[in-house]
Amino acid sequence: MNAVPETIRSFLRRALTAIDPYWAVVRAWYQKREPRERMLVNAGIGILGVFLAYNLIYVSIQDWQESLKTEIESRQVELSEARRLTETYMERKAELKAAEKTTIPRSKDFSLFSVGEGTLTQTVGREKIGSITPAADRKLPDGFTQFTVDLKLQNVSLAQVVDALYGLKSLSSPVAVQRLDVTRRPQDSHAYDVEMTCVALAKNG
């Protein structure tokens, strides 16, 4: 434990011994100076001391403070980014949970075509159904499959359009109307042609 302090003391003794002759010359020179000259020398030493203190201590402290400030700002940016990612994750988790509540049971027996045809037959009548065209199933992120059908109704009244939409919304299997176009028929201002796209989500599993 005492090896290092003793080594340092030994080095300091050798250093003092080496500079002692020079220090004696400087001291003798200083003693020969007039009081006025000594005052100037003391002032110069004071100025030099202030200069060294400023550059070796104050500037070093300033540099350290700037480095510390930069480090703190960098950590604050990283913390803000971490918070943003956490909030994004929580939002995505909430969206996924909400989406799971609006999904249909994954079953080989489910057919959006059959569901759409059945409810439209009940609400507007089979003769009003122009066509029902299924689209290819679409795989979505987070383990979902989207089913899509394009529906066309012909020569329906506004009341029948409302009934059709209500019927789709009231299905036990969640079905959403993604697109709806209603066009008035030129032959009858009270009759309309309707094109809509219905979608349903199923959780893969």
The answer to the question of residue 47 being in a domain is yes
Query: Which residue among 61, 76, 101 closes a domain?
Result: 101
The answer to the question of residue 54 being in a domain is yes
What would the pLDDT profile of 173-196 be if each residue is shown by its tens digit?
A: 778 888 999 999 888 888 899 999
Q: Which of 109, 121, 116 is nearest to 200 (CA)?
A: 116
Is residue 95 domain-shared with residue 124, that is, in the same domain? no
Strand, coil or helix: 105: coil
Residue with tokens 């002032």: 43
The answer to the question of residue 75 being in a domain is yes
Q: Which of 201, 199, 193 is nearest to 131 (CA)?
A: 193
What would the pLDDT profile of 104-140 be if each residue is shown by its tens digit?
A: 655 556 788 888 888 899 999 999 999 999 888 888 7
The answer to the question of residue 197 being in a domain is yes
Within 13 Å, how many C-alpha atoms sit on residue 31's CB side? Answer: 6
Containing structural domain, residue 190 = 112-203
Q: Number of structural domains, the chain?
A: 2
Q: Quick check: 120 and 167 in contact, CB under 8 A?
A: yes
Residue 154 neighbours by CB under 8 Å, 6+ apart = 128, 129, 130, 193
The CATH number assigned to the domain holding 168 equals 3.30.70.60
